[in-house]
A and B are shown apart, each in its own frame.
Chain A
Amino acid sequence: DQQVKQNSPSLSVQEGRISILNCDYTNSMFDYFLWYKKYPAEGPTFLISISSIKDKNEDGRFTVFLNKSAKHLSLHIVPSQPGDSAVYFCAASNFGNEKLTFGTGTRLTIIP
């Protein structure tokens, strides 16, 4: 049962434009959400997180939006840069649950 879903396996965006990566979840108990970025042959790197008491969190070029009623979160990258080309994973947890549940990832390619 895939509780965290990233329905787009891949996404291509022009350099300088906005990249929007989407993630859906089914478990209404999830209250903490994260995005990780992964380059080939490296471990995932933490990007940004949001708790369910907020609907938006920003960190530089990265903004995460949370829509609890739709059980949907998105990561916006503005402006997109070539170094942003990577696989992005969303993850979720119930703060009392001792693990993160990950989606299957979206491969983002930034076109120069």
Chain B
Amino acid sequence: KAGVTQTPRYLIKTRGQQVTLSCSPISGHRSVSWYQQTPGQGLQFLFEYFSETQRNKGNFPGRFSGRQFSNSRSEMNVSTLELGDSALYLCASSLYGAGNTIYFGEGSWLTVV
């Protein structure tokens, strides 16, 4: 069955702009979580959505937000982009929740210039 799909794969934005990233989970998975990976850092948890509700949130500023739709697809938005937001953004889906085994998409590479 199809894996987790993220779009776009690569994008370049200018400081101050906003960006929206999209994620389609594995069919049947209701949990979608988002992670940020930067050079030298592990994967930093952003937030998790389950059945359209945000269940958990990491230590990121309010510029980072997300939502989940009734078909479990999820979007994350970053407003007022900063240079430090340049990173690989990973979406993962899970059958039981973000504290269990999660399955990642290929990620969206964001470069802020």
Contact = CB atoms under 8 A, between A and B. Distances in A.
A98 B30 CA distance: 13
B104 A44 contact: yes
Number of chain B interface residues as a range? 20 to 34
Contacts of A98: 48, 50, 55-56, 97-99
Interface string B25-51: 000000001010000111101001010
A100 B45 contact: yes
**Nearest 7 A/B pairs, CB to CB:** A43-B104, A93-B99, A102-B43, A104-B42, A102-B42, A98-B56, A43-B106
A83 interface: no
A91 B45 CA distance: 12
A46 B101 contact: yes
Nearest to A95: B99
A43 B55 CA distance: 23
B58 interface: yes
Contacts of A100: 45, 98-99, 102
B21 interface: no
Given A44-B90, A104-B42, A99 B101 contact: no
B58 A99 contact: yes
A64 to B, nearest CB: 13
A105 B90 contact: no
Contacts of A95: 99-100
A72 to B, nearest CB: 17
A97 B99 contact: yes
A41 B105 CA distance: 11
A46 B103 contact: yes
A25 interface: no
A43 B105 CA distance: 5
B4 interface: yes
